[in-house]
Amino acid sequence: DLGTANTLIYVKGVGVVVDEPTLLAIQKSDRSIFTYGEEAKKLVGRVPDSIELVKPLRDGVISEIEYAEELVKTLLSKAIGRSYSRPRIIICVPNGVTSVEQRSIETAAHATGASEVFTIEEPMAAAIGANLQIFEPFGNMVIDIGGGTTEIAVISMGDVVNANSVRVGGEDMTDKLIEWLRSEHAMLVDEGIAESLKHAVGSAYQYDKEPQVTVTGRDIVKGVPKQVLLEASDVRNALTPVVNEIIEAVRISLSQTPPALVSDIDKYGAWLTGGGSMLKQLDRKIAEELGIPINMTEDPLSTVVVGSGICLERFEDYKSVLKSSDK
């Protein structure tokens, strides 16, 4: 699962063996990889001018093809090691990628010595990972909120009936907080701090015992360290525009879905997944705004990779949802 924020790899019979941020630290002088993944994430906000942090799949599309390719190769060889020769690989990429980008990722997978390479649509993998009955004539709606994109799809009879993808996700929530702290509190914080703030007190709807939190950053005017005490409700208000954009996208999807399938969704609900869905009370907010039940998948960060894993484990049963990629 090559996500905009995280890349996960599942090995048949073993489970998830790689779970790393989709991030590279590049040595500017010769464009070589200094480090990647978790190690690179530790460097956010702390690198000298000679190093650049690259998110090759920012916004859900591959903006830096070569780096994305490099990361895929590195992580695949880490996952596969020497223990598997000529593996079968299923890759899951966001909907927004162009065919050229998709091709370059498939090439990277072939280059690791794969015997066969397949691709699977992300919402399909999410639906399988959530144990939905995708082959039934039934409206299965999946809302996958990733780092840079939200993908909404309705699946019935083993196929995507209707899909909608918007370039907004968890990282936009983080960016909103950075912006808000700057404009409302004249304070500068880096992405890491804003993300922790989002995880700790961010929410989409009022909840019990809302905490306060102290954030430390830099005073924009004086240039010195500064602390402010924030209310959970203020953080929620700052996040509202992003949350509303996601809800609007779901509303559009519902309006484009055939009535019989909408009535299934109305009765059994839509499934919410992806790391962005872990924003507190987001399920409640969507349910309230759209009047449909919302179910959360068990582990939103790994639903997609687990779905792809199920396709490997039960290859014959799921072959029909995969697309074969030639060398």
The residues of the shown chain that bind Mg ion, judged by CB under 5 A, are 3, 146
Among 70, 106, 121, 195, binds ligand ADP (CB under 6 A): 195
Q: Is 86 exposed, middle or buried (0-12, 13-18, 19+ CB in 10 A)?
A: exposed
Decide: helix, strand or coil at residue 249.
helix
User: Cβ distance 95 to 151 under 8 Å?
Assistant: yes
Residue 275 C-beta: closest distance to ligand ADP, Å:
2
Q: Which residues of 148-157 are buried (b: 16+ CB within 10 A; e: fewer)?
A: bbbbbbbbbe
Question: Which are the contacts of 100, defined by CB distance < 8 A and separation ≥ 6?
Answer: 65
Residue that the structure tokens 């899951």 belong to: 92
Does residue 278 touch ligand ADP according to CB under 6 A?
yes
Does residue 151 touch ligand ADP according to CB under 6 A?
no
Locate 70 and state its tokens. 């490099």
Residue nearest to Mg ion as judged by C-beta position:
3
Of 6-25, which residues contact ligand ADP (CB under 6 A)? 6
- Each residue 215-254 as x (binds ligand ADP by CB under 6 A) or -, in order, gives ----------------------------------------
Helix, strand, coil in percent for the chain, rounding step 5? 40, 25, 30
Question: Which are the contacts of 237, defined by CB distance < 8 A and separation ≥ 6?
Answer: none
Q: Look at residue 6 and give the partner it binds from ligand ADP, Mg ion, none, a contact being a CB closer than 5 to 8 Å depending on partner kind.
A: ligand ADP
Q: Look at residue 18 and give the partner it binds from Mg ion, ligand ADP, none, a contact being a CB closer than 5 to 8 Å depending on partner kind.
A: none
Does residue 279 touch ligand ADP according to CB under 6 A?
yes
What is the enclosing helix (H) or strand (E) of 294?
A: strand 294-296
Does residue 5 touch ligand ADP according to CB under 6 A?
yes
Cβ closest to ligand ADP, residue 119 vs residue 257: 119
Residue 44 C-beta: closest distance to ligand ADP, Å:
12
Locate 215 and state its tokens. 């954030």
Does residue 170 touch ligand ADP according to CB under 6 A?
yes
- CA–centroid distance for 148 within its chain: 7
Residue 194 C-beta: closest distance to Mg ion, Å:
20
Q: Look at residue 56 and give the partner it binds from ligand ADP, Mg ion, none, a contact being a CB closer than 5 to 8 Å depending on partner kind.
A: none
Residues making contact with ligand ADP (CB under 6 A): 3-6, 146-148, 170-171, 174, 195, 198-199, 202, 274-276, 278-279, 301
